[in-house]
Amino acid sequence: MKGQVFNMTGLLLILLIAAEAAFLIFEALKRSSGKRTWQLRRLIVNAAQLLIFGIMLVFPGIDTSFRFMGLIILLAVRIVIASLFALAFRKKTDAKKTGLKVLSLIVSAVLISGAMVPAFLFTDYEGRPVTGSYTVAQSNCILVDESRIETFENDGSKREVPVYFFTPAEAKEGEKFPLVIFSHGAFGYYQSNASTYLELASNGYVVVSIEHPYHSFFTKDTSGKTVTVDRDFFSGCMNANGEVTSEEDIYEMSKGWMELRVADMNFALDALIAGADNNDTGCFWFENDSSRKDVLNVLTHIDTDKIGLMGHSMGGATAVEVGKIRDDIDAVIDIDGTMLGNMLGVKDGKYIIDETPYTVPLLEFENEGSHWELQEIAKIDYPYPNLTIKDTAKTYYCTYIEGTLHMDYTDLPLFAPFLAKMLGSGDVDHAYVSDMVNSLEVRFFDCYLKGKGQFAVNEYYPGVN
């Protein structure tokens, strides 16, 4: 389907540019048209292009979403401009020069191609089917931590943690569901694994995706300002993934990152637990009364005695660390994240790893490349946090899907395959990977948060492609 969508988008681009080329050829053969006649014909071509787009709407992958909104606006504006110019040239005028006609074709092709960039970067992804019996309601608010100053600003403002709720819509009065908190990866955002939240919520969980401002790609604060990823954080992450950064530098950077994220998740947990148990929402900021009502309703359905944590990449590391330091966490999922919080320092160029046994049931997903890399690291007995936790954890599961890379454990390959490929995505069936990972996560939390059945995973799963 993904290839078919891409082909339809490419066909639309070809047809629109072909209409421009046909117009140029027609004008070259006519030779004698004045500017007003040329503008009238230009109007006809622009209208024909809009008609072509309308006809193509019957094909998969062509729609009126944001992917094509720029194109729709461009075609409409070009019709208006051509109409105005046609009315302006009422008197007989000289014929439009050939050079200007060619330039017009080139400019048109560039504008159309530029307007269609989102259509090639993004798919018509509308989510994965859910397996649970509940439909999912969504709401959100921002938690304001009065005990912390926002270190990314110099105005004395307090640290804010946006939270997004995904909950069973048909929850009955008094009905309680386990709470699952999700943390996104470095310069990710709250919807990075939306298919996971929807799948869990449909199966009877209250899922809360938290954002870490200045670590997320973008978010909004209580003033309505868009907060984008911090440049120093972004460059630090890029450098940490390079081969020239020392273990000492990586440790110092990651220590600061983890302190911020762990504080965010701890604060969010405490606020949500207090809100659910005591109706204490003093630190909750709501955009409007409707949002307040929705969130207050969600809080009544949280079972604070059953809490799971999860996250992707650095978010997975955050979940693992918070699961280690709190005694109210019942299960943790690390989705392809290096467990940075387990690093205590560096000595002689090697990490010092916390060897305290991990007591909370832990499920780890690896991408295939990382899996084999860790196998080699284990052979040389190099201290690495994930390997240490694997050896010391009381209840530990680990698996990977063949052919996967880091971004295959998010929804990005389903939504923006080109961007995912740039950031690290394998040649796998991404819908299959998403469904497989989500099903394992539901089974894991069902076992350890709901006490349903036994849990086990294969060493790996085939990456159907």
Does residue 128 belong to any structural domain of this protein? no
Q: Looking at the domain assignment, is residue 17 inside a domain? A: yes
Q: Is residue 131 part of a domain?
A: no
CATH of the domain at 310: 3.40.50.1820
Q: Are residues 354 and 413 in the same domain?
A: yes
Task: Report how far Cα 200 is from the mean position of its chain's Cα atoms.
Answer: 17
Q: Do the domain assignments include residue 130?
A: no
Which residue reads 């059953």 in tokens? 306
Same domain, 198 and 155: yes
Tell me the backbone φ, ψ of residue 129, rounded to 5 degrees: -60, 140
Using the predicted structure, report yes or no on whether residue 5 has a pLDDT greater than 80: no
Express each pLDDT in 66-113 by its tens digit: 889 999 999 999 898 888 877 766 555 555 667 777 888 889 889 999
The label of the residue with tokens 């349903």 reads: 452
- Which pLDDT band, with edges at 50, 70 and 90, does 1 fall under? very low
Q: Which of 89, 121, 153 is the last residue before a domain boundary?
A: 121
Mean pLDDT along residues 206-233: 96
141 and 69 share a domain?
A: no
Q: Higher model confidence: residue 207 or residue 418?
A: 207
- For residue 126, being part of any structural domain is answered with no
**One domain for residues 428 and 359:** yes
Q: Which domain holds residue 391?
A: 136-461
User: Which amino acid, residue 17?
Assistant: I
Q: Are residues 162 and 23 in the same domain?
A: no
Stated as kind and residue range, the H or E segment containing 92 is none
Q: Let me know whether 171 and 237 are in one domain.
A: yes
The total number of structural domains in the chain stands at: 2
Do residues 55 and 150 share a domain? no
Question: What letter would DSSP give residue 278?
Answer: H
Whether 85 and 204 map to the same domain: the answer is: no
The answer to whether residues 48 and 78 belong to one domain is yes
Orientation of helix 35-56 relative to helix 2-30, angle to 10°? 160
Residues 10 and 51 in one domain: yes
- 56-65, 238-247, 291-300: range with highest mean pLDDT: 291-300
Report pLDDT digits (tens) over 275-305.
Answer: 999 989 999 999 999 999 999 999 999 999 9
Query: Which helix H or strand E contains 346, and what residues bound it?
Result: strand 343-347
pLDDT digits (tens, 9 = 90+) for 146-180: 999 999 999 999 999 999 999 999 999 999 999 99
Report whether pLDDT(192) > 90: yes
Q: What percent of the chain has pLDDT over 90?
A: 72
Residue 183 lies in a domain: yes
Q: Look-up: residue for tokens 């072909």?
A: 18
Report pLDDT digits (tens) over 120-152. Answer: 888 878 889 999 999 999 999 999 999 999 999
Residues 6+ apart with CB under 8 A from 317: 258, 261, 311, 334, 337, 338, 339, 340, 341
* pLDDT tens digits along 15-27: 999 998 888 888 7
Q: Is residue 127 part of a domain?
A: no
> Is residue 84 a part of any domain in this protein?
yes
231 and 104, same structural domain?
no
* Beta bridge partners of residue 177, listed in sequence order: 302
**pLDDT of amino acid 23:** 86
Q: Is there a single domain that holds both residue 333 and residue 378?
A: yes
